[in-house]
Structure formats: C-alpha cells, structure tokens
C-alpha cells in the first residue's frame, strides 16, 4: 500500500488571506500527490494577534481548502487561525476530497513568542485515516515534545506543518529525524519560507522514513516535492526490528 505526499514549501503575504489563497491554488492544483501539505497558517502568516485574521470554521480558508480538495481530488492539509466561542485556535485541518474535514488544535503554544497569550491550546491528539494510512497531526512547536507524539501503535506517519524560525533550524532538522527514528514512522515536516515582521524562515521542509533517512528535502526557496510512502516496507522493518515492543508504558493526561 502506497500514498503520495506533496510537501509545499511556500512564502505568503502578511495578513492577506484572499491573495494568499488565490496564489496557492495553483500550487495545490499542480502537486502530483494524494495529499498536499501546506505550512502553518499558510493563508495569513504566523499571527500572534489572532483577532486581525481569525475566521470561523466555515470561513474563507476552510471553505477554500474544501473546494481545492473536491476540485483537484486530493486531500489538503494546513493550519489556520480559527475563532470559536470567543477563543482563538491554531487549528490544523485535514480535508479529504469527499469534503470530510478533521482537525487538530495545537497543543504546545510557542511560549517564547507569546503564542499562549491569545490562543487556547488543544488537549486531544488527532489521527486521521486516509487511503489506508494513519496520520498523526502536529503543529510546529509540538515537535519539541516527544511524549505528545509518541507512537502507541496508532499511526504510520506524523505530519508537521510549521512556521519555524531560521534561528532554530538545527533543532528543526534534528528533531524531525529523532521523531522518525524513535517512533519508527514516516515524518513529513513542511515549513514556510520568506519573512514576517518578527522572523525569517529558511524552509528546510523534508520527508523522512522510519529509519530517519531523508526521502526528500531542500533548504531555501519555494518548491513542491512529492514523495511516496510505502506501508508494507515500514511494517516489514518494524517486524524485523521490533523496538516498539520495548517502549515504556505511560498514559497522557489532559
């Protein structure tokens, strides 16, 4: 069983939702993949003051993602700023061509940048099943917290969408590899490029296999690259090297 994933490393205009969505449609349309992954807050840039760009769940960003998925017959993944019952969420969506939409609210809010000041954290891990694969959804700073992403035998790949500052690029690359190795899973990390008023983003988006080997990656610039994940190969490796059977048992609390 195989699936094609497109990593879309893109820049975006600060706080210009409609223009970003208009420009990124061609990126989604051209991607040769079953699943297209975009960066964190791909329609607005990373916003620490969410009221400026926040939308309801049925706002322009999510309805556009649904239209893309239905029109181009591929799942679309990325995060957006959502307002819900007076709270703001950094919410990652996995939108299927059927219109089915699942989401994950970022658990670990970026304390050094003040994200926790205005956003409400999530408290649930979310695994999405699509085309026989199980994907754990994670956002940016979540990458630093291995317990939250520890495999319990419940997923085959982790998808991280990010706005990861260039000053911490070594940590990004090292931690993506660590998550792949320790969980014996595929890891897809999609970061943005360009600048915003607070940071510079180099990119370094990459896909890694269950051994921590790089399948695809690039440092700077806008690009889209598609990779193939092979579930049978992953399962064969996990059977031949069953480190997962020796994992420490624990329970996550909200």
The first and second tokens of residue 37, run together, are 């992954």
The first and second tokens of residue 82, run together, are 């959502």
**Sheet holding 75-84: strands in order across?**
101-105, 87-95, 75-84, 35-37, 2-9, 223-230
Question: Catalytic residue among 55, 96, 115, 140, which?
Answer: 140
Is 161 one of the catalytic residues?
Answer: no
Is 2 one of the catalytic residues?
Answer: no
The first and second tokens of residue 192, run together, are 């943005």
Residues contacting 63, CB < 8 A, separation 6+: none
Question: Catalytic residue among 40, 47, 96, 173, which?
Answer: 40
Is 106 one of the catalytic residues?
Answer: yes
As a whole number of angstroms, the distance between CA 237 and CA 165 comes to: 34
As a whole number of angstroms, the distance between CA 201 and CA 223 comes to: 14
Question: Catalytic residue among 74, 96, 106, 185, which?
Answer: 106
The first and second tokens of residue 153, run together, are 């035998």
Which residues does the annotation mark as catalytic?
40, 106, 140
């Amino acid at each position: 069983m195989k699936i094609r994933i497109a990593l879309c490393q893109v820049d975006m205009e600060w706080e210009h939702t409609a223009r970003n969505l208009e420009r990124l449609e061609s990126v989604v349309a051209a991607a040769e993949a079953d699943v297209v992954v975009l960066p964190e807050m791909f329609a607005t840039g990373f916003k620490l003051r969410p009221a400026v760009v926040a939308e309801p769940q049925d706002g322009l960003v999510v309805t556009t993602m649904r239209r893309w998925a239905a029109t181009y017959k591929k799942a679309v993944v990325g995060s957006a700023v959502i307002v819900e019952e007076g709270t703001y969420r950094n919410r990652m969506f996995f939108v299927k061509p059927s219109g089915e939409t699942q989401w994950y609210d970022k658990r670990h809010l970026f304390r050094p940048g003040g994200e926790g000041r205005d956003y409400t954290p999530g408290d649930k891990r979310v695994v999405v099943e699509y085309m026989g694969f199980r994907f754990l959804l994670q956002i940016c700073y979540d990458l630093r917290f291995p317990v939250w992403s520890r495999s319990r035998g419940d997923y085959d790949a982790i998808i991280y969408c990010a706005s990861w500052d260039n000053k911490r690029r070594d940590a990004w690359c090292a931690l993506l590899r660590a998550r792949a190795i320790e969980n014996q899973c595929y890891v897809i990390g999609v970061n943005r490029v360009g600048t915003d008023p607070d940071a510079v983003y180099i990119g370094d988006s990459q896909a890694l296999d269950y051994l921590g080997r790089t399948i695809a990656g690039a440092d700077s610039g806008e690009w889209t690259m598609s990779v193939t994940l092979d579930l049978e190969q992953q399962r064969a490796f996990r059977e031949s090297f069953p480190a997962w059977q020796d994992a420490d048992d624990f329970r996550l609390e909200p």
